[in-house]
Amino acid sequence: MLQTQRMAKGLNKKAHIKQVSYGAPFVWLKQGVEDFIKCPTLALFYGALFTSFTYSYWNFLSNSPTLGDLSAPLLAIVVIIFGPISAMAMYDASKRLSAGENLSLGSILMVIKSAFKANGSCPSLFLSVILIVLAIIWMVFTPLIYAVLNTDTFVNQSQTIIEAILADISNFNNPLFLIVYGIFTIAIAWISFMISWFSFPMVLDQDVDPFTAANASIRTALANKIVMLIWVPIVGVIVLAGLLTPYFIGMVVAVPILAHATWHAYKSMIGKIE
């Protein structure tokens, strides 16, 4: 992968990691709301685009005869994979607001353009590929785990394997499978979160390579475990609340605020690379 000169300078270096108080997540949310209020046009534009895509994808899945049973997990995968990279404009907006810039309507397209041109080799795309690979691992190993741990017949002849798995989950059958699969799913979700939490804001801010950014994001999460355990449920509740509104309309506001808040979380916990 091609690298910019600035990115090359960051190779084999580590970012300074800071520990924050347990109340920091609520400060980030407050700062996210403040940034939303400062540039509502950009925030609502981004929120509307993301929500339109998400709802259209959900509508397609739920009406699909083959993918209908997988609507919820596939939607979650899309949000996890495309949420961080699609929020790059929000990160850049927060960066500009923190520097004292006023974002007018005319500067919105410039913000979106600069967010993706800030790092010439597009490490954000590489990070998205990593998340896609993790999602593929989860999808591939799900039926394999079921096949190994299924205590009954492999698959009822009247069911697909996906229907059989969903039936076991909803009816709490096959407890061994539920435990192992639950641990596996949580592990994949945690790894995905730790990689993506700050790596996307970092490649925008410091123009580092994706490996340095992912390493910094993981080290930050591990150094602030309790804070992470507070932040993740907050994000989950806000996103779920947005998804439960008609046409996912709540996501129009929720997603930009979380994106702005993530930027401030990054700035409060990750310093310059050394």
Residue with tokens 């990054």: 266
Q: Is residue 167 part of a domain?
A: yes
Could you tell me if 121 and 6 are in contact, meaning their C-beta atoms sit under 8 angstroms apart? no
Query: Does some domain include residue 75?
Result: yes
CB within 8 A of 133, min separation 6: which ones? none
What pLDDT sits at residue 78?
Answer: 81
Mean pLDDT of 163-180: 80
Provide the residue type at 202 as one letter. Answer: M
Check: CB of residue 121 under 8 Å from CB of residue 175. Answer: no
**Residues contacting 42, CB < 8 A, separation 6+:** 89, 90, 93, 103, 108, 111
Residue 251 domain-assigned (yes or no)? yes
Q: How far apart are CA 41 and CA 38, in angstroms?
A: 9
pLDDT tens-digit series, residues 6-61:
555 555 667 889 999 999 999 999 999 999 999 898 899 899 999 999 999 888 88
Identify residue 246 by its one-letter amino acid code: P
Distance of CA 113 to the CA centre of its chain: 21
Examine residue 24 and state whether it is found in any structural domain, yes or no.
Answer: no
Over residues 55-75, the mean pLDDT reads 80
Query: pTM, whole model, 2 decimals?
Result: 0.84
Residue 203 maps to a domain: yes
Mapping DSSP to helix (H, G, I), strand (E, B) and coil, where does residue 243 land? helix
106: how many CB neighbours lie within 10 A of its CB? Answer: 7
Task: Specify whether the CB–CB gap between 252 and 49 falls below 8 A.
Answer: no
- Residue 246 in any domain: the answer is yes
Sign of the CA dihedral 161, 186, 240, 263? negative
Average pLDDT over residues 260-273: 92
231 domain-assigned: yes
Q: Return the minimum-mean-pLDDT range out of 78-87, 102-111, 171-180, 239-248.
A: 102-111
Establish if 19 belongs to a structural domain.
no
How many angstroms separate the Cα of 224 from the Cα of each of 65, 182, 203? 43, 24, 21
Number of domains in the chain: 1
Mean of all residue pLDDT scores within the chain: 83
State mean pLDDT over 69-97.
Answer: 83
Question: Of the candidates 260, 189, 183, 179, which has an alpha carbon nearest to the alpha carbon of residue 228?
Answer: 189
Residue 128 has pLDDT above 70, yes or no: yes
Domain residue limits at 260: 29-273
